[in-house]
Structure formats: structure tokens, C-alpha cells
Amino acid sequence: MNIPQLPRFRLATLPTPLHDAPRLTAALGGPRILFKRDDLTGLALGGNKARKLEFLLADALAQQADILVTGGGPQSNHVRMTAAAARIAGMDAVGVIYPSGKGETQGNLLLDHLLGLEIIRLPPTPHAQVEAFMLDTCERLRQAGRRPYYIPLGGSVPLADTGYVLCALELQQQCLEIGVSPSHIILPTGSCGTHAGLLAGVKWLQAPYRVLGMTVSRAREEVQSRLERLTQETADLLGLRIDLTADDIIIHDAYRGPGYAISTPEGEAAIRLVATTEGIFLDPVYTGKAMAGLIDLIRRGALTREHTVVFLHTGGVPGLFAYDKELGH
């Protein structure tokens, strides 16, 4: 199988912009920083899940599904964008929501309500059991005569990650057009699919830059094996021959703070800095923490004026509104 043959259901406005952040670059006194604006993919206020959902929705339609089943925390961008994608494709969606971070009807959860998402709220539950519950939900729907399509947490399966293999290609072309050759791509890493797709693409293109993920939830060891597996599986699905080595798997876990969806002072400072220098909003759960990591690497001298960094802005901006207590002063 190769990418042009894969069915794709268009949801994202592409290519997303790639542009310089000169005032942020000057404020940090380190590498040239460019933003790849996947916060502007255009699907229901944007974000990285649009690229993944294009392949998942095409698969769901091919299977004649009529309802999508997925899950996440109350501020899940993935759930919000899945609910919107379902509507665009004329389907319904169920969101299995477990307690994690902010639970009030604000930000993403507010948008879920507007999209008419069927919300099932669970008590505190380990991830593996959430997924089991989601599968049970599919079974219950099937017995009721529906045709459910299951999307795991974060939508990180090789088919979906194909969206980020294509993003690597898109980025490569844009870099050529504007004459930049990045040394690093930095992004937040959650369920790993975005990082895996990008890395598979970068290896396939034999691009000279390193992909560096700032994990926002899991510890580094756990992410490394998951990332390695997903990267290889994505390449295999597409028949891309890549030579993945341990060197290619770069994960930092020092910036996630006390845990997923818990805002950190460094992340909040990064959000303020990017807003005041560039007029761009980051979010407290993903991109703020990834930017805090980039800032720290500059302070430590690991990234210098010799480098050129592309920061992948994966979105998450609706989540900002649930963090008014932390950010609104």
C-alpha cells in the first residue's frame, strides 16, 4: 500500500503556514525559530488531529460506520475534533470522558456539547480500562443496530499517523520554497502518533533534521518503546523502507510537570512569552510545555544561534479557556 492509494476524507485546510517568529527568536537569543501552524488546520478551531482524522474518517466511511466512538479527558482536543469530523461526514459520535485536568463545561467540553456529542463520563479509570470500556460501548451500539467505528485515545494508529508522514513532506517542500534548512523539529508528544508519523516521514525523506518530542504525559522510557513501535508500523503500513535507529528516538520528559493536563509555571510563562512577542496562542496541556522545553534547551546551551528550529504548533487553543484561574492574571 502507498499513500496516494489510501482513501482520504478531506478535513484540514492544507498546507498550514510555516513562518518565522523573529520577535520570539530575538527575545530568546538562540536559534532561529519558525512555527509550523497546525493550530490552523481549520477543523473545528484547528489542531493536529485533523490530519489523522482524514484517514480514520475515510476508513470509517469505507466500513459504512454511522457512529464514531472515542475518548479522552474533558479538555481533549482529539474528542472535540472527532465529534466535528463525525458531523462533517454525516455521522454521530460518542465521547468516553474520564477525569483528567479541568472538568467544567468550558473550552473543548463546551464545544463537544455544541457538536451534540454523546458524552459518557467515567469515574477515575486507568487508560487500559477506558479503552476496554470504549470497546464495550461499540459492542452495545452494535447490539442496538448501529455501526460503530472505534478510534483509540488520541487516534494514534498507523493509518492515522499517515497524516503526519504527509506533513513531513509538506514541511520539506515549504522549507525548500523559503530556503531554510532546519536542524530540529520540536513538538509535544502525547499518544505518540504525531511524532511517529513525522519521524517516519523524515526518515523516509532522509531529511537532515532531528525530531525532538517533549512528552506531556508518560515517562520517557514508556514513550520511547511506544514511539519506536508506532513509527515502524506506520512506515510498514505504507511500504516505506526506513532505517530507524535508537538515535532517532528523542524524547524529553522534564517539562511535563506533575502530570497530564496540569499546568506548569514554565508552561504558563512560555504561553505569555509567545503571545506577547508573536501574538500567537499556545495551550497549557501540550504546546506551552513543549515551548517551555525549547526555552530550557536554549538556556542550557543545547540549542544555539547555529541552529534552526521548527516548532510544530499542534493546536489545543480551545483548552486555554478552562485555565482562566492559572492564566487570567
Ligand X SMILES: *Cc1c(COP(=O)(O)O)cnc(C)c1O
Binding site for ligand X (CB under 6 A): 47-49, 77-78, 154, 156, 188-195, 283, 286, 314-316
Locus of grid cell 520539506: 172
How is residue 20 written as a grid cell?
518565522
Is residue 196 within 8 A of residue 323, CB to CB? The reply is: no
**Nearest distance from residue 189's CB to ligand X, in Å?**
5
**Nearest distance from residue 109's CB to ligand X, in Å?**
14
Q: Which is nearer to ligand X, 141 or 202 (CB)?
A: 202
Assign 71 to helix, strand or coil: strand
How is residue 276 written as a grid cell?
506577547
Q: Does the CA dihedral 289-134-156-81 come out positive or negative? A: negative
Q: Which is nearer to ligand X, 77 or 264 (CB)?
A: 77
Q: Which is nearer to ligand X, 195 or 203 (CB)?
A: 195
**Nearest distance from residue 325's CB to ligand X, in Å?**
20
Beta strands in 235-281 (DSSP E): 250-252
Q: Which residues contact 194 (CB under 8 A, 6 or more apart)?
A: 48, 52, 156, 161, 164, 187, 312, 314
Q: Which is nearer to ligand X, 141 or 280 (CB)?
A: 280
Assign 153 to helix, strand or coil: helix
Question: What is the CA angle 289-282-164, rounded to 5?
Answer: 80
What residue type is assigned to position 12 of the chain?
A: A
Question: What is the CA angle 247-55-249, rounded to 5?
Answer: 5
Our answer to whether residue 191 is catalytic in this structure is: no
Instruction: State the residue number with the nearest CB to ligand X.
Output: 316
**Nearest distance from residue 313's CB to ligand X, in Å?**
8
Catalytic residue among 76, 100, 156, 191: 76
Q: Does the CA dihedral 281-287-307-296 come out positive or negative? A: positive
Cis amide prior to 15 (ω within 30 degrees): yes
Q: Which is nearer to ligand X, 231 or 314 (CB)?
A: 314
Q: Which is nearer to ligand X, 191 or 264 (CB)?
A: 191
Locus of grid cell 479541568: 102
Give the H/E segment covering residue 189.
strand 184-189
8-state DSSP, 261: T
Q: What is the CA radius of gyration of the chain?
A: 19
Catalytic residue positions, numbered: 76
